Amino acid sequence: MKKTPLYAKHVELGANLVPFAGFCMPVEYAGIVKEHLSVRKSVGLFDVSHMGEVSVSGPGALAFLNRVTTNDVSKLAPFQVQYSTVLNERGGVIDDLLVYRRPDDYLLVPNAANTGRVWSWLRAQAGPDVKLANLSDATGQIAVQGPEAPGLLGPLASADLAGVGYYNSTYSRVGKVPCFISRTGYTGEDGFEVYCDAADTVAVWDLLARGKPGPSPCGLGARDTLRLEMAFRLHGADMDETTTPLEAGLGWVVKMDKGDFVGRGVLADQLAKGVPRRMIGLRTESKRFPRHGHPVLADGEVVGKVTSGGFAPSLGCGIALAYVDARVATKDHAFAIDIRGQMVSASFNKGPFYKEASHK
């Protein structure tokens, strides 16, 4: 397995390390629920150095990115960030990723498990007027998440982070380390991503860890429960190359009027005929929590299955994302989830499960 630049730090902190996307990553330190709540109430640090970073530049970069992603890259202002998807010819989601517009290039940040697939796909699609560089191994990334994130990172940064809006970015030093900082996040809370040279990642982590208020180190377990409470999709669970962004409820990142792009024909057909299935949110009040693969019933009939599910620490109940037949993807049905043979009633949930996130 690969190790991030912070591997020794995780060992020092007593993290429970697990294999993830080819990396040895911390799943928890003090406990998933404790770490989850620390991000909701204060601030946490996540090692996300396993994520990919791909630079796209050259005279054909904009046209290329508009052809291989579904959102409209031409709408990006300098230093703005965009959520998007990369599709195969069948309209299936190869990955969901972030697209940054920087002064000298565009930066793509794919999921760790898909970096190799995205890199190969981009190389196969690029023409001679596009320059690609895989910066993943040379880059460290730390996510600073929680309502107290600006108070922690702000005094340590040379840039005025108060002027960096949601889904925007800037260059800044953190202490003495040159960094690239964005304000997005996967938790629903306010927060930042700090990109730096891999060799400087430990120094940046240590500086943040000593800051005030004292942040909690957080692992993949809390990252997953936090994102699920916001109904954020996870590639490999909630979507993959057999699902389209329209089925996954990501139609808002598909800009059909921008011109042709890979997979557009399939999406146009789905828009004309209607999608066969849709992703919905479900909430239970049982002590038994839904998990990936559990069957979903509507009005007593099996209509789909859970893709992501578990206990919501901020809400004290079970929550799930699920694909169901499009004909029942509304609140007008009596839903249940088959949790290992027990039928558990579930209510339809629109939008995020957790409504009090601080990024608003």
pLDDT digits (tens, 9 = 90+) for 219-244: 999 999 999 999 999 999 999 999 99
As a whole number of angstroms, the distance between CA 189 and CA 56 comes to 29
Beta-sheet pairing, 23-28 with 139-145: unpaired
Instruction: Residue 204: name the closest of 151, 156, 149, 154 by CA.
Output: 156
Q: Where are the beta strands (DSSP E) in the chain?
A: 16-20, 23-28, 44-47, 54-57, 81-87, 93-101, 106-109, 131-134, 139-145, 169-174, 177-182, 191-197, 216-218, 277-284, 295-298, 301-312, 317-325, 335-339, 342-349
Q: Are 168 and 224 in contact (CB under 8 A)?
A: no
Is residue 341 predicted with pLDDT exceeding 90?
yes
User: How sure is the predictor about 344, in pLDDT bands with cuts at 50, 70 and 90?
Assistant: very high
What single DSSP character describes residue 154? G
The structure tokens listed for 78 are: 């300098």
Domain 54-134 in the same topology as domain 7-49+137-229: no
Task: Tell me the per-residue pLDDT of 79-106, one tens digit each, with 9 for 90 and over.
Answer: 999 999 999 999 999 999 999 999 999 9
Are 280 and 321 contacting, i.e. CB atoms less than 8 angstroms apart? yes
Helices 115-125 + 61-68 axis angle, to 10:
120
Nearest to 194 by CA among 214, 212, 208, 180: 180
CATH number of 276-360: 3.40.640.10, 2.40.30.110, 1.10.443.10, 3.40.50.300? 2.40.30.110
Helices (H), 193-296: 201-209, 220-229, 264-273
Q: Which pLDDT does position 360 carry in this prediction?
A: 59
Query: Would you say domain 7-49+137-229 falls under CATH 3.30.1360.120?
Result: yes
Q: What is the distance between the alpha carbons of residues 187 and 288, in angstroms, rounded to a whole number? A: 24
pLDDT of 359 above 90: no
Question: What topology is assigned to 54-134 in CATH?
Answer: Alpha-Beta Plaits (3.30.70)
pLDDT band at 287 (very low <50, low <70, confident <90, very high): confident
End-to-end CA distance of the chain: 38
Q: pLDDT tens digits for 153-173?
A: 999 999 999 999 999 999 999
Q: What pLDDT is recorded for position 140?
A: 98
Which strands make up the sheet holding 54-57, listed edge to edge? 81-87, 93-101, 106-109, 54-57, 131-134
Residues 259, 75 contacting (CB under 8 angstroms) = no
pLDDT of 74 over the 70 cut? yes
Give tens-digit pLDDT for 110-155. 999 999 999 999 999 999 999 999 999 999 999 999 999 999 999 9
Q: Does the pLDDT at position 29 exceed 80?
A: yes
The enclosing H or E element of 119 equals: helix 115-125
Could you give the percent of the chain with pLDDT greater than 90? 98
Prediction pTM value: 0.96
Q: Mean of the pLDDT values across residues 282-289?
A: 91
Average pLDDT, the chain: 97
Nearest to 328 by CA among 355, 298, 348: 298
Strand 216-218 with 44-47, pairing: parallel
Residue 61 in this model has a pLDDT that exceeds 80 = yes
Residue ranges of the domains in the chain? 7-49+137-229, 54-134, 276-360
| 274 torsion bin: left (phi>0), alpha (psi -120 to 50), beta (else) | left
Q: How far apart are CA 358 and CA 101, in angstroms?
A: 25
Question: What whole-number distance in Å separates Cα of residue 28 and Cα of residue 7?
Answer: 13
